[in-house]
Chains A and B, each alone.
Chain A
Amino acid sequence: MAAREDYLIEFKSGGRAFAAEARSLRSIAGAGWRPATRASRRLVLAELLGLRPGPGGRTLVVAWGEGNVGFVVESISKRQIERQAIRPVPELLRGWLQAPILAGLAVLDGGQGLMHVLDLPRLAEWLAAAGERDQS
């Protein structure tokens, strides 16, 4: 059995399944998971990923500077994925990505399926830094 919060939370954004490490989240608004945490800013994750957003129902809240930021997603799956399913992002792919958004890739279904494990705190940092660069 996985240690407390040593698992991945699966969710849908832009009609596609993604995951995030449970321990990287402060709360999930509307899901009754941990005490509700107010997000000072809410962003639609699908738009950030270049996907068409579906009807949003849940907000994944992560720490952002002194406060919190919420990523709006469509739904949260009841499936919890063991953290051992995560494989590191290949160094080659890491060098090709334009933003450091991946914490890894979860290998599912005996190696047949792959799911992106998003590093939402880093995505928030990257967005903040990108915003500062745009303003300067």
Chain B
Amino acid sequence: MAERRTAPTGSVAWSAEAGDASRELMFVFHRGSQTFALPPTSVAEVLGQMEVTPVPFAPAWIEGVVGVRGDVVPVLALQTYFGLGQVQEAATRRLVVIRHEVHTLAVWADRIVGVEAIEPGALEPPLGNLPEAMLKVCRAHFRMGETVVHCLDLDQLLAESRARVVAG
């Protein structure tokens, strides 16, 4: 069972609360037909609509780059990367800026759920019926009511994305 803690919106930078040590905090968002989770500490900020500049010679799953306070941030199109088909883009979508180690990237979220506190034992191995690209980068899943939330492993996502380019 997941308990909601806070829901970041707009362009205000934020950080996760320390929380109950026995629970794991997850930043949860919807994209297309799927719901994903990230460690809140990896979410640098959530921005509104931004113009994305396409990049030549980039794979289809790189939507382009955005400028965030003078920095250049690549935007990874999760739905294309995972082969989930087209997403109806809404004006209310949000850009989630992710920092992982020395890297910064961004992904679109149709809707931000917020930070959920996951009880011990609620995390289960990834579902076996996921598309292969998704299975490779999901470390676990949990349920929020009827909704299945896929926990993304950022180490794996970055390593797999580079491997995919090298493999052509």
Contacts and interface: CB of A to CB of B under 8 A. Distances in A.
Given A90-B104, A96-B62, A49 B72 contact: no
Interface residues of A, number: 25
A105 interface: yes
A65 interface: no
Contacts of A95: 162, 165
Nearest to A118: B56
A111 interface: yes
Contact of B56 (A89, A112, A113, A116): A116
Given A101-B56, A101-B57, A114-B53, A96 B165 contact: yes
A98 B57 contact: yes
B20 interface: no
Interface residues of B, number: 27
Contacts of B70: 87, 107, 111
A89 B58 CA distance: 13
A97 B57 contact: yes
Interface in A91-105: 91-93, 95-99, 101-102, 105
A30 interface: no
Most chain B CB inside 10 Å of its own CB: which residue of A90, A96, A98, A107: A96
Given A95-B162, A96-B74, A107-B70, A114 B65 contact: yes
Interface string A71-111: 00000000000000001111111011111011001010001
A50 interface: yes
Interface of B: 51, 53, 55-59, 62, 65-74, 102-105, 158, 161-162, 165, 168
